[in-house]
Structure 1
Amino acid sequence: MGMTAWKRAGVSLTAVAVIAGVAGCQDGDGGRKAADAPAKATAEPQIQTHAAVTKVIRAAYEKTSAAKSAKVRMTITMPEAVDGGGTMEMTGVQGWNPGAMDITMKGSMMTAGDPDAPEQMRMIMVDDVMYVDMGAEKTAELDGKRWMKLDLKGGQAQKELTGGLENSLNQDPSQQLALLLESPNLKHVGAEKVNGVQAQHYKGTLSFEQMLDSNKEKSALLSKEEREKLVANVEKVGLKGYDTEVWVDAAGYPVRMVVGMETGVGTMHMKADYTDYGPKAAVQAPPAKDTYDLAEALAGLGGS
């Protein structure tokens, strides 16, 4: 994929990550499209009290935080009116504390404007080092080295090459649950099936200002000027807040997270389905002999 398309997708995803602070989406009808059709119940569903809901979400936060990794299937849709708009689909493994991922990406957000872009791309990140699968054709040109390596610890220049893509994809679902606990109207919707798994559906809303105040870890990264600019940009696109939803299975883990953000130019959609929490979803870096260090190559070309 050309650098223009890469950065186009990265900038779009980073904007969503900063604004939402979570991974997930809502389909605009209370999230019921996002879940499988609920199974017919033989009795009226038991709706949990607010105290019970808080207990469930807090327990899910603790279990998810301890798991540290899971398999994920994520879909992000941005309005076409937004620069880099389109759809991105991602499947693979995600880790948190420490952050890691092994993700295959595809969709119009990656390929628009770049006729040479591949239909899909695999990306791995371990210990702040990103590896991108260059494909068979490029591998032949690089003496059999299939993976382009980019050490993000190397500085801002290396991070700019990715367009912020790694920050957007490497979200921590446990922190998403912590943020949902801050919603003033967190409630239990009922029992539903997600991907064939019985789960309990919860939802809540937060204004943009509430999100920034609650998500102190991300908002602390912003200077006063950056925060003011971000708020101004959010007001410009008409984003007042967003709806957050989660489906928790019988084991206490979130099997789906959903957020929908209505703006003046359309709705931003994000959805993440999770399975196989824990060590089964480990991430490994490619063998060193198969990697091509981009930073060293650029240094050899005088930074061009």
Structure 2
Amino acid sequence: MRTSVRVSARRKATGAGLAALLLAGGAVGCQKSDSAESPAMTPAAAVARAAKNSEEIKSVHYRMKGKVPGEGRVTAEAAMSMKPLAMSMKMTAPDQATEGPVEIRLVGKAMYIGGNASMAKEMDGKSWIKLDMSALGGGKGLNADQLGAGQANQNPAANSTFLTGSKNVKKVGTETVEGVKTTHYEGKVTVAELKASLKEKDKTVNTTVREQREKSLDQFEKMGVDAFTMDMWIDGDDHTKQFRMRGEADKGPLDLTFTFLDINKPVQVTAPPAKDTADLAAMMKGAQS
């Protein structure tokens, strides 16, 4: 396969893999309630309760929009199951030279990127690239993090809990999101404070959730993000309905809003047909040799 095709494939894998990072959103609650907040609950307590509820989420369906450093504007809709791990996302990046949306599927230890006509033109008719996470990394060459896929196995509820690390959480007001009455909270928090809060909460947070949050924080540090302004919209059932995170990274602003549609509904994702798929690990091995 031509060198230019390999370079193009690597670039598309990197850009689309970054979309996997966008999976790091917030907890979601779709049940409706007449009241968006208990009158006796403080802002910090409301945020803490929603964060605790997010730990129980097994699957999510959400929409995302905003700006990603180095990528520009993005919009996406995704569904993800944590156990077993599976994800399907369709992403559009209008500031990138792509024809139509890019689809990402995560099935087991493999990530598939592509699914549109522009991919097929550059991949000898194959419209999907496969990133085998077990084959990548562990020695010379590319690894999953370098491809931007290091966050692919992150629970999308992890980042919403970061608002609990803020020392200045305040109530902004009440708003309706997707037909659901919610209470809007806001706070500022640094990555250093978030890491410190994780250590303080080691005894109350299970190991899996703590590791997911630590991986997310490491990824943000690599992007050059030192602090966030966090917004959370909590419904009357103490779940986060919408979540926004804003910060400055090395390559520009990070500003993402996640609106959550369903929780704990079945998610089924299948791998693309093998005849339509090019294996990136094999391509890179060929390039190295």
Provide TM-score, normalisation by structure 2: 0.69
In the aligned structure 2, how far is the partner of 1:151 from the partner of 1:4?
14
What code does the residue aligned with 1:23 have?
G
Change (3 A) 1:281 1:134: closer
Matched, 1:159 2:143: yes
In the alignment, structure 1 residue 3 sits paired with structure 2 residue 9: yes
Unaligned runs of 5+ in 1: 25-44, 112-116
**Residue 246 of structure 2 is aligned to residue 260 of structure 1:** yes
- How many angstroms apart in 2 are the aligned matches of 1:290 and 1:168? 25
**Aligned: 1:197 with 2:174:** no
- Residue of structure 2 in register with 1:125 after alignment: 106
* 2:19/2:91 contact within 8 Å kept: no
Quickly say closer, same or farther: Cα 1:135–1:143, change in 2 above 3 A: same
The answer to whether the 8 Å contact 2:155/2:212 transfers is no
Residue 104 of structure 2 aligns to a residue whose secondary structure is strand
**Which letter does structure 2 place at the counterpart of 1:89?**
T
- For 1:124-173, what per-residue CA distance to the aligned partner results, in whole angstroms no more than 9, with x for missing partners? 0122211123435765998986433221111324535x844333565434
Q: CA RMSD in A?
A: 4.1
Q: Which amino acid aligns with 1:245?
A: D
Q: Percent identity?
A: 24
| 8 Å CA contact 1:95, 1:170 repeated in 2 | no
Q: What is the 5 A alignment of 1:84-233? A: 84-96=70-82, 99-108=85-94, 110-111=96-97, 117-136=98-117, 146-156=127-137, 157=141, 159=143, 163-168=146-151, 171-215=154-198, 217=211, 230=221
In 2: Cα distance, 1:171 partner to 1:281 partner: 16
More helix by share: 1
For residue 195 of structure 2, give the secondary structure of its aligned residue in structure 1.
helix
1:23 counterpart (19, 22, 25):
25
Which one-letter code corresponds to 1:201 in the other structure? Answer: H
Partner amino acid for 1:159? N
Structure 2, unmatched stretches of 5+, are 27-35, 200-210
Distance verdict in 2 for CA 1:211–1:124, change over 3 Å: same
1:159 is paired with a residue whose SS is: coil
Describe the shift of the 1:166–1:99 C-alpha distance in structure 2 as closer, same or farther (beyond 3 A).
farther
Number of aligned pairs? 258
Matched, 1:66 2:62: no
TM-score (normalised: structure 1): 0.66
- Residues 7 and 163, structure 1, Cα contact 8 Å, conserved in 2: no
Cα displacement (A) at 1:240: 5.4
Map residues 266-281 of structure 1 onto 2, 5 A cutoff.
267-281=253-267
Deviations 1:221-263 (A, max 9, x none): 69xxx99xx59x84xxxx6522111112233332211011146
